Amino acid sequence: MLVTEATFIAAKAGGIPNVPGIWNEDQIESWKKVTSAVHAKDSFIYLQLWALGRAADPGQLAKEGITDGYVSSSSIPQERFAKGGFPPPKTLDLAEVHEYVKLYATAAENAIKAGFDGVEVHGANGYLVDQFLQDVCNKRTDEYGGSIENRARFGLEIVDAVVKKIGPKRTGIRVSPWGSFGGPSSSNLHVLLAEFTAFHRHAHV
């Protein structure tokens, strides 16, 4: 089975050049050529769903004319962008959090239309889902921050929304509880491991 490299769920979820997307009809049609070729060899292929959050390059977003893409769970920048003089990312408000959940679900639905056998939500490596999970960069005081349950809420809502669109057997998630790529590294790895265990159990993936 193949899993594609990360694919943007929406234009504003990007911020790195030369990355494929899955949010419009042209992209869906183009992906059909890939999935058909894989299926012709009697194999399977999943699409990895990606949103960068604070890992997006603000300069690249500006080049693309995207003004609402440099976001995160909290207004804490990655060190490389802080040193580069860029302002901190915008903290997603509740309406925007819910919008991202819908964007993941729509992207999953589009992936199935494109012929993919399923999807993998990219919840690792310091990208948007991981920015909510990790307490070193999630300083929210609402229902998406603070406790383990709250910090996992965003990712779990995404998984639930994707499952509702395409079913549990087509839904996977990638996590990195001990990862330090992209900046995050939890202050309590043992607690975080318990969180990820519960995360997988809830997702049934």
In sequence order, which residues have a C-beta less than 8 Å from that of residue 161 and are 6 or more positions away? 101, 102, 104, 105
**Model pLDDT, residue 84:** 80
pLDDT digits (tens, 9 = 90+) for 114-137: 999 999 999 989 999 999 988 889
Total-model pTM:
0.90
Determine the pLDDT at residue 183: 59
36 phi/psi in degrees, rounded to 5: -65, -40
* 127 catalytic residue (yes or no): yes
∠ Cα 189 194 199 (to 5°): 115
Q: Which of 46, 100, 127, 144 is catalytic?
A: 127
| 6: amino acid identity, one letter | A
Domain residue limits, the chain: 2-203
Q: pLDDT tens for residues 32-57?
A: 999 999 999 999 999 999 999 999 99
Distance, CA of 127 to CA of 120 (rounded, Å): 14
DSSP 5: S
Q: What is the pLDDT of residue 102?
A: 99
In CATH, the number for domain 2-203 is: 3.20.20.70
Closest by CA to 116, choosing from 205, 3, 25, is 3
CA-based diameter of the chain, in Å? 50
Beta bridge partners of residue 21, listed in sequence order: 8
**pLDDT class of 76 with cuts at 50, 70, 90:** very high
Confidence band for 204, pLDDT divided at 50, 70 and 90: low
Q: pLDDT class for 4, splitting at 50, 70, 90?
A: very high
Confidence of residue 100 (pLDDT cuts 50, 70, 90): very high
Question: Taking the chain, what is the end-to-end CA distance rounded to the nearest angstrom?
Answer: 16
Phi, psi of 109 (to 5 degrees): -60, -40
- 59 contact partners, CB below 8 Å, separation of at least 6: 86
Identify which has the larger pLDDT, 59 or 190. 59
DSSP 128-157: HHHHHH-TTT----STTSSSHHHHHHHHHH
pLDDT at 24 over 90: yes
Return mean pLDDT, the chain.
Answer: 90
